[in-house]
Structure 1
Amino acid sequence: MGISKAQEREYARILYVNERITFKEIAERTGVTEKTIGKWAEADNWAKLRKSLLTTKEAQLVHWYNQLDALNEDIAKRDLPIPSAKEADIMSKITANIQRLETEIGLGEYVEVSRKLLTFIQSVDLDEAKKFKNYIDEFINSKLKNG
């Protein structure tokens, strides 16, 4: 089972945003042409994404917990503290988002941890870091293929 174009595109975007490397380097690491990388970057506005602060998993969790807390506080203030059907649906969706974020390890997290590990290895042994980078790329590609 090969990597889908969507998965290649996502991996390329993550490399561009998180590692701040060139289109040429991304093309070498993903096996996609530099021209295609450039088209994806322009179409999806990667430059803007790179400039923005990426929301961390923890920040997203805090956001969802705050929304859930605010909704619960509003409901608790009522004479009959029972959520409406719409509120119950919203609470269910927020809870599902929280659960997904707390249990899911996404591609971005693999890339982020790998990047930090590679930075550490570079500080110890630059030649080994160059070799290790290839293993990281193989690992990320295997996650794209096999989940």
Structure 2
Amino acid sequence: MTKKEQRDNALDLFVEHGFSKNKIAKTVGVSVQTISAWAEEDGWDETRSKRLKVEKNMKLRIFKLIDHSLEVFEQEINGQQEKGMLKHLDKGQIDGLSKLLAGIKARELNFSDSVKLFTDFMEYVNGQDNKLAKELIPYVDGFISELRKRE
């Protein structure tokens, strides 16, 4: 793995997943001093802050859309009840709500869970066989890089 890929992965772990600099150093395979230097040079704290604001706003907007859709459906159901003609939501309405919710879950779980799993795995391997853990780092980093590119 190149230094650029290590640096990109480190930034991603800091910004997207909130890893500490110590944990990033262990995961990426560089010193904490290197991570601190990269963070300072590239303005990681500001990038993380902006990203969190954007993500929070995006989630709020999606939840507002879901809430609005539910209100419309509830109004429709209440109108049907008043007329004594209660109908189920149609397939399109259910699919729309399901897709919005699935989008939120997929975004939150996919990459983050993979990184967490591999970080935990590497900590386990390191506790069992430090030499093997060091040998695996480039492969794990490469795998995480590929996952990040897919997102």
Higher relative CO (Cα under 8 Å, sequence separation at least 6) belongs to 2
**Richer in helix (by share):** 2
If the length of structure 1 is used for normalisation, what is the TM-score? 0.49
Larger radius of gyration: 2
